[in-house]
Every structure is written in C-alpha cells, then in structure tokens.
Amino acid sequence: MADTDLMTIPGQVDPVPVARDITPRADGRIDLLGLPNDDIRVLFEQAGLDPKQAKLRAKQVYHWLYHRGVTGFAAMTDIAKTMRPWLEERFVVGRPTIVEAQHSTDGTRKWLLQTDDGHEYEMVFIPDADRGTLCVSSQVGCTLNCRFCHTGTMRLVRNLTPGEIVGQVMLARDALGEWPKGSMAGLDAAEDAGDYTSDGRLLTNIVMMGMGEPLYNFDNVRDALKLVMDGAGLALSKRRITLSTSGVVPAMARCGAEIGVNLAVSLHAVTKEVRDEIVPINKKYGIEELLQACADYPGASNARRITFEYVMLKDKNDSDEDARELVRLLKHYDLPAKVNLIPFNPWPGAPYECSTPERIRAFSNIVFEAGISAPVRTPRGRDIDAACGQLKTAAQKKSRAERDREAAANEAAA
C-alpha cells in the first residue's frame, strides 16, 4: 500500500475541508469523471474551444459520460469525427480500478476498488426480489470509532473525490449492463431525461452506507449525488437514494437542503451512557440534539420516513426497556420513523456479540406494537465480508494507542 500523507483529522471535528488528493495522470490528460457540465465546459474553453463550441461539446460529452456510460470519445457519434481525436488527446473518462470482484452465495456482490494513488475501498451490490441496492463508500477508512464497526478500526486515509464516488455507481451499471440504450436523436437533456427508469432494472437504489461517514465528506458526496440525481446524468430519483450518518448534527440540515435524499441515522442506543460507548460522536452531539435535527429534517414525512438503524448487541442495547425507551423517544420528537434492526455482523477481534434471535424478535415486537415499523434486516454477503460493518480494506490499522488517544481527544472535545 502506498504510504501517502495521512490527514490529521481528529475524531469529532465538524466537516473539515480536505484538499482533493488526485494524483495527476502520467500522460497529462485530464479525467472528466466526476465533473459537472459547467466544469467540463470551462476545461474545453481552457483547451482552446470558443465559448459557444465549448458549451455545446460539454453538453454532448456530459450526456455520453453520465447518461450513456460511454468511456471512449470515439463512440460519441454526434460529435464531429475530427473533434474526437482532439478530445482523446486531452481528456479521458476513467473508472475506479477493480482489484477484486467477489460473489456471495446469496447473490450479493462486493468489489474491492483502488484509487489512482493506491488506496483501497469497497462497494457492495445487494439484489433483492423487488429491488437492487448499491452500497457506496464515501471515504477510505473513517475518523469515527464506532466500537462495533470494522471500518472504524481503520484510520481515515482520505475522503473519496466526487469521481471516485459517482464512479462506483457507474462501475455497477457497467457490471450489470444497465446503461440506457435508446437513440441519440434529441440530445436535449430534458427530452432524454426520462429514459432511465428503475422498472425491470437490477440497480434501483443507492445507499451511502459503505466505508466512511458521508457527512464528513459533505461537498464531494453532494457533488457526486447531484450527478446521480441529474435527469441528464445518471437520472436516479432522490427518493431511491439514502444517506446514512452516525449523527453529524450540524451537517444534517445542509444535507436536507443541498442534497435532499432520504436520511438514515445510526442511532444504536437510547441512553447517553451506552451511545457514548458504542457511537462516540454522541459525546459531541447527544441523542436529544440528534433527534431534534431529525425532526427538523426537510422533507421528512410519513411518506418519506427517516430510518433509524439499530445494531443488536447482546446485553448492551437489546433489552425490553431499551425498546420501550426507543419508542418513547421517537414519539416524543414526533418523528416519521421506521426502525431497521441490524443483527450485529461479527469481525475478528470485535468486542461484542450479536443478540439472540429471540431477543431481536422481542425487541422488534415492542417497537412494532407501538405502531412503528421495525423489520429485522437479513444479513447479506457475510461469507465475503460484505455485510454492514464488515468493510475494511488493507489500509493502515489504527494502533491501540492511537485509538485511545483519539478517544481521549474526543472526550476533551465533548
């Protein structure tokens, strides 16, 4: 693994601007993956096209790039033949590099990916009868140290760029063969916007639930999701996208206003004592503050409920009393909520065990009887370490001393 500069980002600091860390390509060409239409236009102007040409070409290239999934300029048939080599000399359309692709016995697929500067991250595709969900990573590693999460034992190596984030979705469409075909007549974005529907597709939903805390990489996650949601781009409805946060309260309102996707919150405990222990960001943003931010989340309604994730840890957070307190809290804040009960997925050296199936059932029943949906999530892809909280690449592990230091710093910051 390349030993690049590690960013010193203490655990509970509000979203930190982190310089994009893109290694320039050896051949000097510029990778357009992850850039919006306007940035492509500016690059074309800088390369010598007049403003009118640059605008037209940018629109065409943007369409081929994000709507059609084309990676070579030679295939962009509505662009003048003489123009295509000109583009080819100066630009490329990249994809994340696949290091390994694995298939679980239950159909779940996991890809180990690599950035141009040698860092590894993962994405997971989970097919179901009525939908297919892509679980997308936002960071290599994570600054937070949730105690039940394998990713949390990694250092944060760096934030993923918009290209590396949207690139995961594009790679999945490549792998599943799901780019819209259609004719190129009517290049008008509006005319073409409707031709990616989720009907009959394998990939219908996206969850920002891979490696990392998406709200600590806010700008890049937003820019990537804008390309995913753009009707002229990947054209996936925001209603089919869910962002999961461990509770970065100050970024939640921005998430609603600037991204507008469904929200999932990793609650996992109902008392300060337990949540402080298992989700340490709780020391900075407590349960009340977090639930208030959920109540204020724009667009939350009964039709678009907030998902509360709750990992079931034996003798830690799984009692009847915990379930009743969960109900009380959700009602107190009048939250349009559904609860996702996640059986703990083990990993080597994990300090917890999964609750028994009977305990999980009893917990679920209490929440359900209070009128709140509380399905138990079936673990998927456990055999290839693709299940929630099992993602961890070979990047540097935090040392015990380092984790203790971070914990002490977090406490000081609280």
Catalytic positions: 122, 388
Question: Which of the ranges 16-24, 33-41, 118-126, 145-153 carries the binding residues for ligand SAH, by CB under 6 A?
Answer: 145-153
Binder among 116, 213, 230, 406 for ligand SAH (CB under 6 A): 213
Q: How far apart are CA 381 and CA 156, in angstroms?
A: 24
Out of 79, 344, 366, 374, point to the residue binding ligand SAH (CB under 6 A). 344
Minimum CB distance to ligand SF4, residue 212 (Å): 6
Strand ordering across the sheet containing 337-343: 97-103, 109-114, 120-127, 132-135, 205-208, 241-245, 262-266, 306-312, 337-343
Comparing CB distances to ligand SF4, the nearer of 115 and 143 is 143
**How many other C-beta atoms are found inside a 10 Å radius of the C-beta of residue 11?**
22
Q: Is the dihedral of CA 158, 313, 112, 219 positive or negative?
A: negative
Interface positions, 311-330, toward ligand SAH (CB under 6 A): 311
Handedness of CA 303, 136, 195, 255 (dihedral sign): positive
Residue number with CB closer to ligand SF4 (152 or 256): 152
Task: Sketch the per residue contact string, 202 through 221, with ligand SF4: x for CB under 6 A, - otherwise.
Answer: ----------xx--------
Binding part of the chain for ligand SAH, among 31-39, 55-63, 83-91, 240-248 by CB under 6 A, reads 240-248
User: What's the start-to-end Cα distance of the chain, in Å?
Assistant: 34
Member of 43, 135, 146, 259 binding ligand SF4 (CB under 6 A): 146
**Binds ligand SAH by CB under 6 A, chosen from 73, 148, 218, 363:** 148
- What is the SS3 assignment for 77? coil
In the complex, the smallest distance separating the C-beta of residue 213 from ligand SF4, rounded to whole angstroms, is: 4
**218 contributes a contact to ligand SAH by CB under 6 A:** no
The least distance separating ligand SAH from the CB of residue 348, rounded to whole angstroms, comes to: 11
Here's the x/- map for ligand SAH, 350-389, by CB under 6 A: it reads as: --------------------------------------xx
If binding is defined by CB under 6 A, does position 196 make contact with ligand SAH? no
Nearest to 260 by CA among 305, 300, 216: 300
Q: How many other β-carbons are positioned within 10 Å of the β-carbon of residue 3? A: 7
144 near ligand SF4 (CB under 6 A)? yes
CB of 276 to ligand SAH, least distance (A): 15
Instruction: Identify the residue whose tokens are 């999530």.
Output: 377
Q: Among ligand SAH, ligand SF4, none, what does residue 344 contact (CB within 5–8 Å per kind)?
A: ligand SAH
Name the residue type at position 342.
Answer: I
Q: Where are the alpha helices (DSSP H) in 47-139?
A: 51-62, 83-90
Min dist CB 207 to ligand SAH, Å, is 8
Contacting residues for 349 by C-beta, under 8 A, at least 6 apart: none
Separation CA 163–CA 228 (nearest Å): 11
- Which residue, among 98, 138, 127, 128, has the nearest Cα to 114 in the 3D structure? 98
Question: Which string of x and - marks every residue 266-295 that binds ligand SF4 (by CB under 6 A)?
Answer: x-----------------------------
Closest CA to 111 of 172, 202, 176, 34: 172
If you ran DSSP here, which 8-state letter would residue 259 be given? I
Of 203 and 215, the one with the shorter C-beta distance to ligand SAH is 215
Among 166, 225, 188, 169, CA closest to 59: 188
Residues that bind ligand SAH (CB under 6 A): 146, 148-149, 209, 213, 244-246, 266, 309, 311, 342, 344-345, 388-389
- Note the residues at the interface with ligand SF4 (CB under 6 A): 142, 144-146, 149, 151-152, 212-213, 246, 266
